[in-house]
Structure 1
Amino acid sequence: MKQNKPSQFGGKIEERHLKKYQESPNWRDGKFQNFIETKLSFSPLIIPRIIYKQLTNVAKRAPQKPIEVETPSFDVFMEKDFSMVWFGHSVILMRIAGKTLLIDPMFGTTAAPIMPGGPKRFSPNMLDMIDKLPEIDLVLFTHDHYDHLDLESLLKIRGKVSQYFVALGVARHLEAWGVREDQIQEFDWWDTHPFEQINITFTPTRHFAGRGAFDRQKSLWGGWVFEFGGKKIWFSGDGGYGDHFKEVGKKLGPFDFGLMECGQYNDDWRPVHLFPDESVQAAIDAGVQKIMPVHWGGFSLSYQHGWKEPAEEFAIEADKAGLPAIFPKIGEVFNVGQVSENHWWEDLE
């Protein structure tokens, strides 16, 4: 008997889910809320304009040729703590305390559920990379948007994964896609749970979530802090600028290394995405000592900037602030302690 393919829209909200969500201090008026008022227009009048802008003027929004992906040396990656590999956009593989962690494993081709003609990944065949990955001790999801939580990637990778740490509300999607409930730990903002020798905390961001027309803000969104061996790593997560960055720094910082959202911003979405100057300022606010931009190099999801601009502007702003920044190639093994200012994108069109 042919099995039905899991729905891209994820799991439906059941009474047991709703009861758990209602216990969160961040659940009000039937949905999760940002800590400060964050208005986004989803008016029928504005959506066609955004779609038109997204589908036009595409020349510089994507590279002329596919971006080549380095072949990671996983032997090198595995031998040293705080090694990392960036696979474009927000996909980060990291080695901490002898464990392998993977953040937001979106290796898919298109970051949308029903847009086969939509923006394609700059590096094709990334799903094949999953076959080459080592066994994954822990996968973490910051939120449930399609450019972070991808059905195809999840189905392909789940056999390699031992455990999942996810934003509150995301578990229902994983369960609907075949992940066992006992493999999943959900986090509310500021929740801290140990994983082996690593302390992991879920931090607030100013964003939103949802995979369909009827589940907006029915799951949470945020970033991750990792503490081990006297070092602290912060993955900022998606979200606009606000005072919460100082609060993250005050409660959990300072940080040795920060993976900062920088890309897919535009004026319509300013409340929920960081522009490059804001990304660097957020790192300063939180007390980050070295930074790297993520949320770029994978897709063109913004009509407002070219594909190189997030990295170019991030580098300029970091230099102005005197803050060390690194820019590894996609697939390159690097360590948070290394110094590198290789602007590899400058040689590409």
Structure 2
Amino acid sequence: MIIQRMPWAGIHLKYEEVSLVIDPLFEVHPKYGSIHESVYPLSDFGSVDAVLVTHLHADHFDPRSISTFYGQEIPVYVPEEAVPLARESGLKNVIGVTLGAAFHIGSFAVTPTYSIDGNGDPQVAWAVEAGGKKIIHCGDTLWHGYWWKIAEKHGPFDVAFLPVNAAVIQFPNRIHSGQPICLTPEQAVSAAKVLQAKKLVPIHFRMIHSPPFYQETSDIVARLEQSAKGVVPLHILDSKDNLTI
């Protein structure tokens, strides 16, 4: 399996002649302010057979770019509860998934599993297997109690793609909690350990930092490196970097 890092939380997976993308992003919503990482046309990463979306937040679900670069008929898999809203985007082939219900896309076996969204919206993690190798992509999950169930049902994993920026958000019409809506660097390492991951690839950091609306935590890479020592090999990939497993 060849994995290519895409901006923010996106990854491109290829095995034999089949390719998938998870959470591809090209157009960043203006609400996130100035961005701090380059984005690239989705065509730079090649054609795909299907799109997997963890959830419908604007930094993970970019329907206009999906339509532009992959076509409106491309299969787009989303959590079942998110189907009506996803279809309003104009995509013509939106498919709802439920936890644990595996399906195949060519030689890929894909299973949606637990992921807890920091805003209480429908979200799944994607366990993807091909050629005897298995990865998990967890969107922008919080820490939760399902890690052990995921490991038992779907692990161990060759690579875990986990969010690490511990973003704190402040909406004008919502009581401000001051709490992060996704994993901290230290929690990501702990999750990778429980998932029995052979490698941890951090996602969901660097590009968006626009306080007070969206504020990522500090010293992410240093904290990851410190926490991962002796626990899990850490692979920090930039956009367009490849990883073969």
TM class, shorter-length? 0.7 to 0.9
3-state SS of paired residue (1:144): coil
1:103 is matched with 22
Largest Rg, 1 or 2: 1
The Cα shift of 1:120 comes to 2.0
What are the ranges of 5 or more consecutive residues in structure 2 without an aligned counterpart? 169-176
Residue 280 (structure 1) aligned with residue 196 (structure 2): no
CA 243–311 in structure 1, closer or farther in 2 if over 3 Å, else same: same
3-state SS of paired residue (2:71): helix
CA displacement 1:236-288 (0-9 Å, x = unmatched): 22221122111100111111111111114347233x41111110101111111
What amino acid maps onto 1:226 in structure 2?
A: V
TM-score (normalizing by structure 1): 0.61
Q: Distance in 1 between matches of 2:88 and 2:46?
A: 25
Q: Pick the structure with more helix per residue.
A: 1
**Pick aligned residue for 1:234 from 133, 136, 145:** 136
CA 97–249 in structure 1, closer or farther in 2 if over 3 Å, else same: farther
What amino acid maps onto 1:121 in structure 2?
A: I
CA displacement 1:193-238 (0-9 Å, x = unmatched): 11122211111112155xxxxxx64xx2021001122111111222
Aligned residue runs from structure 1 range 119-130, under 5 A: 119-124=33-38, 126=39, 129-130=41-42
CA 131–199 in structure 1, closer or farther in 2 if over 3 Å, else same: closer
**Pick aligned residue for 1:198 from 101, 108, 111:** 108
Whether the aligned pair in 2 keeps the contact of 1:293 and 1:311 (CA below 8 Å) is: no
Q: Distance in 1 between matches of 2:66 and 2:50?
A: 13
3-state SS of paired residue (1:136): coil
Q: Pick the structure with more strand per residue.
A: 2
Q: Distance in 1 between matches of 2:72 and 2:222?
A: 36
What are the ranges of 5 or more consecutive residues in structure 1 without an aligned counterpart? 1-81, 210-215, 338-349
The Cα shift of 1:153 comes to 2.1
1:185 is matched with 95
Q: Distance in 1 between matches of 2:86 and 2:70?
A: 10
Sequence identity percentage: 19
CA 314–102 in structure 1, closer or farther in 2 if over 3 Å, else same: same
Whether the aligned pair in 2 keeps the contact of 1:199 and 1:226 (CA below 8 Å) is: yes
2:173 is matched with none
1:9 is matched with none
Q: Distance in 2 between matches of 1:131 and 1:196?
A: 21
The Cα shift of 1:169 comes to 2.6
Runs of 4+ deviating beyond 3 Å = none
CA 222–135 in structure 1, closer or farther in 2 if over 3 Å, else same: same
Q: Distance in 2 between matches of 1:108 and 1:329?
A: 18
Aligned residue runs from structure 1 range 127-276, under 5 A: 129-159=41-71, 162-180=74-92, 183-208=93-118, 217=121, 220-266=122-168, 268-270=178-180, 272-276=181-185
Whether the aligned pair in 2 keeps the contact of 1:88 and 1:297 (CA below 8 Å) is: no
Whether the aligned pair in 2 keeps the contact of 1:97 and 1:228 (CA below 8 Å) is: no
